[in-house]
Amino acid sequence: MSGQSERTLSRDNVFITGFSGTGKTTTGHEVARLLGWKFVDTDDVIVESTGMAIEDIFARYGEDEFRRIERETLASVARAHQQVVSTGGGIIMDERNRAVMDDYGVVVLLEARPETLIARLRKQEADEGDDLIARPMLEADDLTERIYSLKAQRQFNYTRAHWTVHTDFLSPTQAAEEVIRGFNMVRASLPPGALAAPSTGEGRGEGE
């Protein structure tokens, strides 16, 4: 059996993707708790490995360098087993990232309405202050327009996720239970290579 076949058959990671404010970190922690698995946030791994905040990497080295670091981080993280991996909102836009996630797990998209995202991001801003990773996006002149624009750019690739959970009216535990339900259903039936088709558009955006 080839290495890729072994990875495809195991698929024992959950990769959580979605826009900032959909609840990736909170839901991811709850999924990990319910499954008894390890929780990993790719942004946290990047901060730890580089010694720099995400927004500082963008400001100092540009988005292309951040995306390279992000891609290498995902490839490294994905090789472990029984993890719940919260990914950056733009990570699914890169075909290479989609291929990695498709090989090593099930990809679950968290969705929420723009008004929900704005409310959650504003609350996060108030709670976290200068530690907020999403600050560059929050500094946009028109946050609503920025969210609609970025979501439109990314939506085609977001819909390639194996399972989608709308979190607007769900508690973290309810959202986590839906993620696990999707993971169990998809893992048994998903053919190889379902996620890693060519991307449409760049879907690039700071701080996400």
Write out pLDDT tens, residues 89-142. Answer: 889 999 999 999 999 999 999 999 999 998 988 887 777 655 555 555 556 567
Structure-block tokens of residue 195: 């996620």
Task: Report pLDDT for 194.
Answer: 58
In a domain, 35, yes or no: yes
Helices (H), 130-171: 135-138, 143-158
Domain count, the chain: 1
- Provide the CATH number for the domain around residue 134: 3.40.50.300
In a domain, 200, yes or no: no
Q: Which pTM does this prediction carry?
A: 0.83
Could you give phi then psi for residue 39, rounded to 5 degrees?
Answer: -100, 135
In a domain, 114, yes or no: yes
Q: What is the extent of the structural domain holding 126?
A: 3-189
Which range has the worst mean pLDDT, 41-50, 83-92, 132-141, 171-180? 132-141
In a domain, 146, yes or no: yes
In a domain, 197, yes or no: no
